[in-house]
Chain A
């Protein structure tokens, strides 16, 4: 049911995770909080752009694209979904 923490950019497309830790500092961290990325927020990785970066995520009902740099500073716990 549960794996260790991984950075959000390693979350494979189509799977979900919950936010466990933000490692950004300063304004960038604030921005993530304002998007609703706080502890235990569920996030789903939706798609990658043609270049493989950024990746679009579903966050609290909105679709938000984040570059790998930002996503790598968001640590998530993957939720395995029943196939």
Chain B
């Protein structure tokens, strides 16, 4: 038992906690079932901005933040949501190891007032580990609306720990929660939680083992808890026990364990689990007045519609279409306004440069290179993102995504993939790197790998604007209702294609390198929640739009520099861009693109947002100098460089299917820990892109439709 508190900390910290916790702070763990509002509570308490949404499994890595109360600093750790502390998926292990082995000063168990009974199972499991617990009954407003009355004092009496009712979204009950946490952390209050009694046989077995377990250190776990887990014999838990507590399973302990297991017969763990569930049921029934009649009438009505055989899919497609339509119709005008504004500014800057006499390469590098690339990224990317993100977040906040997963699961099952892959795919719409991280919610390693390898098939926000810009330029030129509808339909078709590719490739992987059958799957469908419109607007603007834009800008500035240099450094009378494009031209042509487009995708590896600006730069460098004031000018530029509708379609298809961006590749490397899988994640979509574009381009040309 030689492990000190410090080294157990280090162990827990390594499992996904960053940055290290400041000394002198009380450490508070936020645990609870998935989707109980932990992240909202975390944000409320710390003022930080964890991304929140109404679907289970959203927090896959722990986040830490601080707040102070009564002159004392608290470090709050937002753990991934778990149904149990005894389960297998990586994020559940993070939560278990933190609570069990990092021994936080207080563990706040966040529960959902509308589903208290099930939530109490986890509460009881945690109470077996530590008495320093505060139970937070969140979503109390929702319960009230559904006429579910929770008797908080009765619950506190039953559990023997402080119980606080909160509505984290509205900030209700937070002071009481902070006070309770403070009192437990500082030792002003020492909760005496109920002790669970198991049946006689099990109790006898536990009693027999306890003396043989050496004390698990100063901040240690109770011997009783360790004995129960040993009897259960779950390999994952036993591994953790050995790792963190240096628990040797040899000699008399091993012998006693074998005897006890033999006497208890099959599944002692199940007896304990059943006892806990029954206890939760009993406490729930005493602390809660069941709602009269159907409390979820509206949820059911909505689900009847959005998951119905007839309407489920049309509604899904229609919602997607409406989102794209609003984005396209809404982005046009601000995009042009921004472009015009930047052009005006460019002229003023030019005047300054001229006045200062920096007309040569300095002007070229800074204005034609860096400034133009930057402003193109901003004016092409910002408006669609600023519209798309809030709309998508709205759906997420409502709780619609789990319904999408429910609807699509049949397809994922046929692809032999995990049902939750639909959720990780949806996360990919925001950012593929985030999508890859979210794959941690999938327990089975095989299916997690499939989800990671195929995440790139749905377009992220860096690629949406390319799709939107191209379909707007080539399909919605007039900007009228029909044109916008057509452009939306094109983007939607691209997304549907992406989903189809995801399914097809998943199936192929399941038949080849990742052989196997789907593992068990349970998807919780949370109640619908009224979205926090104001918060969504602000948060999705600040956190997602500006974040993504900042990343694009960071990449765009040096990329602009490089591309300008390439466009202006000449070798044998031709610029480097032209050399590179000429080199790539034959390949590009084969798949319906050209050398410049292919070059742009290659140079756009750090971030796809800069693909279009690079294409523009390439064309501009080849002589046809013109001012790009609007999308119409852009279209003229593209057409002057030989674009047809086929080029646009192939570019859109290639946008959809090509190697993941640098960030995503690094994330895949980290998540899989393997260079081989990372390489595969690069090759699969790239090969798919080449294949699809080749077939489309050659077929269209063969039929003579390219015009």
Residues of chain A at the chain B interface (Cβ within 8 Å): 24, 27-36, 38-39, 41, 46-54, 56, 59-67, 69-70
Within the assembled complex, what's the spacing in Å between the Cα atoms of A51 and B521?
16
The count of chain B contact residues (Cβ–Cβ below 8 Å) is 47
Please tell me if the beta carbons of A50 and B274 are within 8 angstroms of each other in the complex.
no
Q: How far does the alpha carbon of A70 sit from the alpha carbon of B60 in the complex, in Å?
A: 24
Contact of B118 among A39, A50, A61 (CB under 8 A): A61
Chain A residues near B116 (CB, 8 Å)? 61
List 8 A–B pairs whose Cβ atoms lie within 8 Å, in order of A's numbering: A28-B520, A34-B83, A36-B281, A38-B274, A38-B277, A46-B300, A46-B303, A53-B409
CA distance A7 to B304 in the complex (A): 24
For B419, give its contact among A30, A54, A62 (CB under 8 Å).
A54
Contact between B270 and A49 (Cβ–Cβ < 8 Å)?
no
Q: CA separation between A47 and B632, bound complex, in Å?
A: 50
Contact residues of B between 519 and 560, Cβ < 8 Å to A: 519-527
Report whether B86 and A67 are in contact in the complex, using a CB–CB cutoff of 8 Å.
no
Q: A30-B234, A36-B281, A49-B407 are in contact. List 7 more A-B contacts (CB 8 A).
A: A30-B84, A34-B83, A34-B84, A34-B86, A46-B300, A65-B419, A69-B520
Report whether A27 and B87 are in contact in the complex, using a CB–CB cutoff of 8 Å: yes
Closest residue of chain B to A71 (Cβ to Cβ) is: B522
Residue contact B115 to A49, C-beta cutoff 8 Å:
no
- A64 contact set on B, CB distance < 8 A: 522-525
The verdict on B307 contacting chain A, using a C-beta distance below 8 Å, is: yes
Note all chain A residues with C-beta closer than 8 A to B117: 36, 60-61
How far in angstroms is the closest Cβ of chain A from B631? 38
Chain A residues within 8 Å of B312, by CB:
49-50
Instruction: Pick from B115, B234, B313: contact of A50, CB below 8 A.
Output: B313
Please tell me if the beta carbons of A67 and B273 are within 8 angstroms of each other in the complex: no
Which residues in window 90-144 of B have CB below 8 A to A? 114-118, 121
A54 touches B409 (CB 8 A): yes
* Candidates A28, A30, A47, A66; contact of B303 at CB < 8 Å: A47
- Chain B residue at minimal CB-CB distance from A55: B406
A33 and B307 within 8 A (CB)? no
When the two chains form the complex, which single residue of B118, B121, B519, B522 contacts A66, counting CB atoms closer than 8 Å?
A: B522
B5 at the interface (CB under 8 A from A): no
CA distance A18 to B114 in the complex (A): 21
| Min C-beta distance of B35 to chain A, whole Å | 10
B413 is an interface residue with CB less than 8 A from chain A: yes
Tell me the B residues contacting A by CB distance below 8 Å.
Answer: 83-84, 86-88, 114-118, 121, 234, 269-270, 273-274, 277-278, 280-281, 299-300, 303-304, 307-309, 312-313, 406-407, 409-411, 413, 419, 443, 518-527
A18: min CB distance to chain B, Å: 13
A36 B274 Cβ-Cβ under 8 A: no
Secondary structure call for the A interface: mixed
Q: How far is the CB of B305 from chain A (nearest CB, A)?
A: 11
Known: A34-B121, A70-B521. A65 touches B409 (CB 8 A): yes
- Docked-complex contact A61 and B522, CB < 8 angstroms: no
A residues less than 8 Å from B269 (CB atoms): 30
B-chain residues with CB within 8 Å of residue A29 when the two chains form the complex: 270
With both beta carbons as reference points, the residue of chain B lying nearest to A66 in the complex is identified as B522
Contact in complex: A69, B518 (CB < 8 Å)? yes
Candidates A31, A32, A49; contact of B410 at CB < 8 Å: A49
Query: B139 → chain A, closest Cβ, in Å?
Result: 12
The CA-CA distance from A62 to B520 in the complex, in Å, is: 18
Compute how far the CA of A77 lies from the CA of B166 in the bound complex, rounded to whole angstroms.
38
Known A30-B86, A31-B522, A36-B280; judge A67-B409 contact (CB<8 A): yes
Task: Return A64 CB to nearest CB of chain B, in Å.
Answer: 5
* A56 vs B296: C-alpha distance when bound (angstroms): 14
Provide the bound-state CA to CA distance between A59 and B281, in Å: 12
- Are A63 and B524 within 8 A (Cβ)? yes
Q: Which among A56, A60, A66 has the greatest number of chain B C-beta atoms within 10 A? A: A60
A70–B235 alpha-carbon span in the complex (Å):
22
B307, A50: Cβ atoms closer than 8 Å? yes
Please give, as numbers and ranges, the residues of chain B lying within 8 Å of A48 by CB-CB distance. Answer: 309
Instruction: Looking at the assembled complex, report how far the CB atom of B348 sits from the nearest CB atom of chain A, in whole angstroms.
Output: 57
Nearest CB of A to B45, in Å: 26
Question: Given the complex of chains A and B, what is the CA–CA distance between A28 and B270 in angstroms?
Answer: 13
By the criterion CB–CB under 8 Å, are B273 and A47 in contact? no
A54 touches B87 (CB 8 A): no
| A36, B519: Cβ atoms closer than 8 Å | no
Chain A residues near B521: list those with CB within 8 A: 54, 66-67, 70
| A22 vs chain B, min Cβ distance (A) | 8
Residue of B nearest to A60 (CB): B118
**Nearest B residue to A28, CB-CB:** B520
Residue pair A51, B84 in contact (C-beta under 8 Å): no
CB distance from B155 to the nearest CB of A (A): 15
Residues in chain B near residue A32, CB distance under 8 A = 522
Partner of B524 from A47, A62, A67 at Cβ < 8 Å: A62
A27 touches B308 (CB 8 A): no
> When A33-B273, A36-B121, A36-B277 are in contact, do A70 and B413 touch as well, CB less than 8 Å?
no
